[in-house]
Structure 1
Amino acid sequence: MTDTDVTSHAARPERFVVLDGLRGVAAFAVIADHVPSDLIRALIPGRYLAVDFFFVLSGFVLCHAYGERLKSEIRSLSFLKLRLVRLYPLYLLGIMLGALHLIYLSLFGYSETALSSFVPMAALSLMFLPVPSNISGVEVLYPLNPPSWSLIAELIANLAYAVLAPWLSLRVLIAVLIVSGLAVFHLVPNEPDLGAGWLLSDVHIGIARAMFGVFAGIAIYRARSAFNMPSVPVWLAVGLLAAILCCPVPEPYRRGFDALACLILMPAIIFFVQNAQASGRIAAIATWLGLVSYGVYVLHEPIYFWMRSVFGFLGLAQPFEVIDFPLVVVLSALAAWLASQFYEQPMRRFLRAFGRT
C-alpha cells in the first residue's frame, strides 16, 4: 500500500473523501492478516484482498494527480523520486522499529541472527531493497517489516506507468491490463489463495497484482468523462468493500473468488464509488481514516512484534492474546496519527532538500 492521498494534490484539488475512508477501512482489515486471531480471521477471510484495493486506488489517484504532467512535464525518474519522498519516511520508521526489535531479540537470546547478518539486512532494507534468504535466513522479502513487500511491488508498477505515460494510448493500456491480468489468472492455481507476493518465491505474484491493479485504476480514472457515475451512499461504499473482504467462500472456490476479486470486483468498487460524497462528521471520519491509513499499514506489524515481546517479558503473553487484535488496531492508529502530525512532513522536507543537493 502507498500513501496516495486523494485529497491533498494542489494541482488537482478535487476531493475523493469516501475513497480516502475506504483506504483506511482496508488498512485496518490487513491487520487481521498479521495478528493471529481466529475470530477476526473468520470474520474477514479475504483480508489480504485489501492490498488489491490499494493497488487500484493508487492507479486512480496517481492518474488524477499526475496523469497529464507525466505525458510531457515529469520524467520517469523524477516521478519515482516524488513517490519515494512520500513513501520513505513511514517505511523507514517501520524498518527501524523492526530492526530495533530484532536487536532486542538477539540481545536476550530469542533470535539466532548474528551481527554479521543483521548489518547487511538492515543496509538493504534502508535502501528499499529485498533481503536475500542467505542473509536473513528466511524467505520473506522484508524480514524487518514484512508488509513492505507491497510498497516495492507498487513502486515497480508506478515506474512502469511513468515510463509508459507518454505513449499510454487506450490500446497500450488494454494490452497492459490483458497481460498483467492473464499473469494473475495464470498464477492463482499455484497458490491456496491470492495472499501472495511477500515471499522471495512468489514476488512475481505481487508484481502482477500491482501491475494489474495500478493500471486498472488508471483506466477507471480515464473513463470518468465517459461514465458520469452518480454519488452512492457511504454505507453502500463501505458495504461493497466489506462484502468482498468478509465473504465466506468455501475452500475449493477460494482461488477462483480471489481472482474475481482482484481482476473485477476491486476495480468495480472504485468505478462505482468514485463520485460518492460525504459531509459533516462522516467526511471528518473518512478524512481521518485516509490520513492514518498508510501509517497503520506500514507500522502495525513491528508494533505487534514489540507488543508481544513486552507482554512476554512481563509474563502476560497468554492472558492477553484475546485482545491482541484490538490493541494493535488502537496502537497502530495512534502511532500513525502521531507520525502524520510530527514526523512525516519534516522528513519529507528533508528528503526533498537532500534530493536537490
Structure 2
Amino acid sequence: MQKFDHIDSLRGVAVLMVVLVHTGQTISNLAPDLEFATRYGQLGVQLFFLVSGFTLCLSMDSRAEKKFASTKFYIRRFFRIAPLYYVGIAWYFLVRLTQDSIQAGSPVMPERFEMSSVLANLSFIHGFVPGANNSIVPGGWSIGTEMAFYLIFPLLFLIIRKLATKGLQHLFNFFALTLAFSILVQGPATFLEMDEGPNRFMYYNLSNQIPVFITGIISFFLFKRGFLDRLPVIFALAGFIALTLLNIYLWRKNIPFSQTLVPALAGWSFVFLYVIFARFRSLNPALLRHIGQVSFSIYLVHFVFTRILGSVFNNLQQVGVSPEFILVMHFSLTAAVSYVIAIWTEKYIERPGIDYGRKLINWLDRASGAKQTSAVAFKTQ
C-alpha cells in the first residue's frame, strides 16, 4: 500500500490537538477565547476518525480481492489496537489504585473499575455501555467508537464503493442519509435534555460519530477519482476556514443538534485540511510525521501527565506567572514527555502486536493453501 507522509502528519496534528484540550482543562483563568481554542482541540479525535476511514479504504482497496479479506481485516485491527489498550487498562488501574489508596489512607479498589466495565472494555463493547465508555481508560470512548466502526467497515466500504460508480451525487446523498440518521438518534436526548454537550455518552456513541467515518470513506473515493488532486488549494483553504468558523458558531450558540453537526462539519473541514497538507511538503516535517506514527501511544499515555503537571504548573499563577505562559509550558512538556514514552511503547507493545497479527494472517494463508492442495490432490486420485 502506498505510504502518504501527509497522513502521518495529520495524525500528528490530531494527537497534538487532543493533548492541547486536556492540558487546557487543567489551567484556570485562561482568557475566554483561548480557553475555547483549547476546547476545540477535542475535535482532533474527529481528525483521527476521518484519517481512519480514509486509510482503511486504502488498505481494503488493495486487498479486497484476496481470500478472507474481511477476516484478515478484523485480525489486523484487533492486534493493532488491543495490545496497547489492554496495557492501558492495567496501567490506569494501578494509577487510580495508587491515587485512591493514598487519599483513603489504606488500599482501596478504584470506584470506577467495576468488573462489568472492565469486561466491556476488554471486549471493546464499552462504546455502547454508558457506565463503561470512558471510565476505565481516559479517552477510551474513542477506542470503543473506532472498534465499533471497524465491525461495520467492510460492509460500508462495499456499499460506498458501489455508490461511487454511480456518481458523486450518490456519495453525498449517502452522507446526508447518515447525518439524518444521527440526528434522528440524537433527537430524544437533545430535546429531553438527557445527554447534551460534547462530553456525554450519546455524543461519544458511534451513532453520533458515524458521519465523520463516512466522510473519511467518501474522501477516499474522491481522492481515487482525482477530485482532491484537482481541487485548488485556495478553495481548500477557504473551505477549511469557513467550516471551522461555522463550527465555532454552532458550538458556542449550542443550537439543537450541534453535538451531531459539529463533529460532522469538522470531518469535512479536515478533508480540506488533507488537501492542504498533501500539497505542501513543508507542512510535513519529520518530527510531526513521527509524532503521527506513534500517535496512538501518545493518546493513551498523555492523560497521566496532563493531570500531574497541571496541578504543578497551575500553582505558578500564585507567583505571578500568566496562565497563557503556563499553558504553553504545560502543553510543550506534556507533549514532549508523552512522545518520548510513546516511542518506547510503540516499539515494544504496538509493533509486536501488529507483527503477531501478521503472523496469524500468514498462518491462515498457509492453512488455506494446504487445504486447497489437499482438495486438488483428492480430486485427481
Q: TM over 0.5, yes or no?
A: yes
Residue 104 (str. 1) matches residue 98 (str. 2): yes
1:297 is aligned, of 296, 299, 302, to 299
1-structure distance, mates of 2:243, 2:38:
8
Point out the more displaced range, 22-31 or 334-343.
334-343
1-structure distance, mates of 2:154, 2:131:
30
2:176 is aligned, of 170, 175, 178, to 178
2-structure distance, mates of 1:49, 1:161:
22
SS in 2 for 1:44: helix
2:122 is aligned, of 110, 122, 126, to 126
- What corresponds to 1:339 in structure 2? 345
- Whether the 8 Å contact between 2:93 and 2:113 is mirrored in structure 1 is no
Residue 348 (str. 1) matches residue 354 (str. 2): yes
Aligned-pair Cα RMSD in Å: 4.1
Rate the CA distance shift 1:345–1:116 in 2: closer, same or farther, 3 A: closer
Q: How many Å apart are 1:100 and its aligned residue?
A: 1.0
> Which structure 1 segments of 5+ residues have no match?
1-11
- What corresponds to 1:62 in structure 2? 56
> Which structure 2 segments of 5+ residues have no match?
318-325, 365-381
1-structure distance, mates of 2:296, 2:38:
20
Number of positions where the alignment pairs a residue of Structure 1 with one of Structure 2? 330
- What corresponds to 2:334 in structure 1? 328
Q: How many Å apart are 1:222 and its aligned residue?
A: 0.9
Give the residue type in structure 2 aligned to 1:208.
S
Q: How many Å apart are 1:54 and its aligned residue?
A: 1.8
- Whether the 8 Å contact between 1:142 and 1:149 is mirrored in structure 2 is yes
Q: After superposition, what is the alpha-carbon deviation per residue over 1:127-166, rounded to whole angstroms, capped at 9, x for unaligned? A: 4342998xxxx93514221311112212222221213444
2:14 is aligned, of 9, 15, 26, to 26
Q: After superposition, what is the alpha-carbon deviation per residue over 1:181-231, rounded to whole angstroms, capped at 9, x for unaligned? A: 11333427457866245x3xx26x520233211222111111221514357
Q: After superposition, what is the alpha-carbon deviation per residue over 1:48-95, rounded to whole angstroms, capped at 9, x for unaligned? A: 222222222211111112135336644434312211111223323322
Residue 220 (str. 1) matches residue 219 (str. 2): yes
- What corresponds to 1:251 in structure 2? 252
| Higher relative contact order structure (alpha carbons within 8 Å, sequence separation ≥ 6) | 1
SS in 1 for 2:294: helix
SS in 2 for 1:145: coil
2-structure distance, mates of 1:248, 1:223:
28
Q: How many Å apart are 1:345 and its aligned residue?
A: 1.3
1-structure distance, mates of 2:59, 2:179:
25
- Whether the 8 Å contact between 1:291 and 1:337 is mirrored in structure 2 is no
2-structure distance, mates of 1:78, 1:105:
41
TM-score (norm 1): 0.73
- What corresponds to 1:91 in structure 2? 85
2-structure distance, mates of 1:117, 1:52:
27
2-structure distance, mates of 1:320, 1:140:
35
User: If each structure's helix is expressed as a fraction of its own residues, which one has the higher value?
Assistant: 2
Greater radius of gyration (CA): 2
Q: After superposition, what is the alpha-carbon deviation per residue over 1:27-63, rounded to whole angstroms, capped at 9, x for unaligned? A: 1222344342343533334222222222222111111
Residue 13 (str. 1) matches residue 2 (str. 2): yes
Give the residue type in structure 2 aligned to 1:340.
E
TM-score (norm 2): 0.69
Rate the CA distance shift 1:247–1:177 in 2: closer, same or farther, 3 A: closer
SS in 1 for 2:230: coil
Percent same amino acid at aligned positions?
A: 19
SS in 1 for 2:279: coil
